[in-house]
Amino acid sequence: MRIQSITDDFGGTVEDIDLRTIANGEVTELRLALVQRGVLVCRSQTLQPEDIVNFARHFGPVEYGVREDFQLPSNPDVYVISNIVENGKPLGNPNDGFAWHTDLSFLAHPTAFTFLYALETPPEGANTEFASAAVSYDRLSDEEKRQYGQIAVRHSYEMLHGTRKGARPLTEAELLAMPDVVHPLVRTHPDTARKALYLGPDTSLPMDMEPAAGDALIHSLMDRTTQRELVYSHAWRPGDLVVWDNRTMVHRATEYDRGRYRRLMHRVTVRGERPS
């Protein structure tokens, strides 16, 4: 196994590895690289749904607890992202993640790691883009670090759901299962002690701030985090497995010609700690 940097500040490509048969020592090395570099790309894998789940389990408890609509029927730990419709039934969720975000920040124990595996990819478009909110934290002034370090932010699944066009209203049970949670705006990574902005635009608002001003603050911090020169844009090939650390990274999906191309992705998430 060899790990090559993608940018100076974050990202790594893992070569000479078969994720179906990794040794314990390799897991330790991969985990270290992942928390330090934020996102790892492993090309040319051949993974069945259970291979992705087994690999993910090395990194913590596999969990997907939000929407049951797009789980793989044969393996509910795997969530499907796709524009493919078979016999009138969508194979997966075609529409999520086009705004910069971090995964499932509205949970009390948000996702630590997301594993995304490409089965079918368009020849153009549909890149997934990454930026580091640890790098952007480091770029803040001392005064900003002090100020933002004191801000608590309310994250709300209901708020996120409200931004989804044409989505059915949440049921009482869903609302009960997904109460709002409060996380710090600056979180400290449990393994590396590195600080990072924890940003969920459209799904969160700072406490003790006027909503419009709070929303503007979160969006402006996300804009600073995702300036073009700080972004890695991953162009997918079938067989790519990309894993990222949601404690330090933000990411987004990008568009593609859905009428023309098929996209099929399998996704597994590992639950994290309570942000602090």
Which residues here bind ligand OGA, judged by CB under 6 A? 81, 97, 103, 114, 116, 128, 251, 253, 265, 267
> Which does residue 133 bind out of ligand OGA, Mn ion, none, counting CB within 5 to 8 angstroms by kind?
none
Cβ closest to ligand OGA, residue 128 vs residue 226: 128
Q: Least separation, in Å, of the C-beta of 221 and ligand OGA?
A: 19
Which entry of ligand OGA, Mn ion, none binds 267, CB below 5 to 8 A by partner kind?
ligand OGA
We find the least distance from the C-beta atom of residue 79 to Mn ion, in angstroms, to be: 10
Strand duo 12-15 + 39-42: pairing: parallel
Shortest spacing between CB 276 and ligand OGA, in angstroms: 23
The most distant pair of C-alpha atoms in the chain lies apart, rounded to whole Å, by 57
Contact 267/139 with Cβ under 8 angstroms? no
- Near Mn ion by CB under 5 A, which window of 25-33, 50-58, 101-109, 149-157? 101-109
272 φ/ψ angles, rounded to the nearest 5 degrees: -110, -170
Q: Which is nearer to Mn ion, 17 or 232 (CB)?
A: 232
Among 60, 90, 94, 97, binds Mn ion (CB under 5 A): 97
How far is 190 from 185, CA to CA, in rounded Å?
A: 15
Interaction partner, residue 53 (ligand OGA, Mn ion, none; CB < 5-8 Å by kind):
none
Is the Cβ of residue 39 or residue 186 nearer to ligand OGA in the bound state? Answer: 39
Contact flag: residue 94 with Mn ion (CB under 5 A): no
Closer CB to ligand OGA, residue 210 or residue 255?
Answer: 255
Residue 103 as a binder of Mn ion (CB under 5 A): the answer is yes
User: By the criterion CB under 5 A, which residues form the site for Mn ion?
Assistant: 97, 103
